[in-house]
Chain A
């Protein structure tokens, strides 16, 4: 079955750029999306179709997807961005989630 791999944790200083990767076989041939989840809350879509931002998502969130890796980039990271981030893609009519990355802003 298809798998997406994320680093368990990423740390970033406030104001710096955070990059979270998501790896999967030929992932660049599929659409990837990203969700942000804060403790006790439902996931929130922050990037869809590789690089599009839903309405209301700050411009500091951006995405790319090529080869075997999709990347979520947060520019000028703020304390409020501390959360778990999950990548997701579809494969053979099934949804696949990455294992999640805990972003720590310190």
Chain B
């Protein structure tokens, strides 16, 4: 069965970087895009960007351009999202999701809580 398993919770200081991993199983990792979405406590879903695991091509939301980097390691079917220059407003649960047909996400990871606090 398709699974996306994310890395554990992180606590970071302002100005630091965080790298969240998303390990895929149950399907061919390079056949589907990975989207990253975040959600602050009590708030809605916010799209951060997408990555094609086959080509490594990426597309980022304008809000995160210059601060986010999405990469992958195809040998271990794992996608990564790194966010730099963290500030308190980046405190949120970060999700990876499998993209389908450039339209929708059919499987989601369990989420990774990133807390930014001094």
Q: Which residues of chain A have a CB within 8 Å of any CB of chain B? A: 1, 31, 33, 35, 37, 42-45, 48-49, 54, 86, 88, 90, 93-100
Chain A interface SS verdict (over half): strand
Q: Which residues of chain B have a CB within 8 Å of any CB of chain A? A: 35, 37, 44-47, 50, 59, 61-62, 95, 97, 100-106, 108-111
Asked if A97 and B45 sit within 8 Å, CB to CB, the answer is yes
Chain A residue contacts of B103, Cβ below 8 A:
31, 33, 48-49, 90
Chain B residue contacts of A45, Cβ below 8 A:
104-106
Number of inter-chain CB pairs below 8 Å: 57
Report the minimal beta-carbon distance from B2 to chain A, rounded to whole angstroms: 12
Chain B interface SS verdict (over half): strand
Residue of A nearest to B96 (CB): A42
Given the known interface contacts A94-B47, A95-B50, the answer about A48 and B100 at a Cβ–Cβ threshold of 8 Å is yes
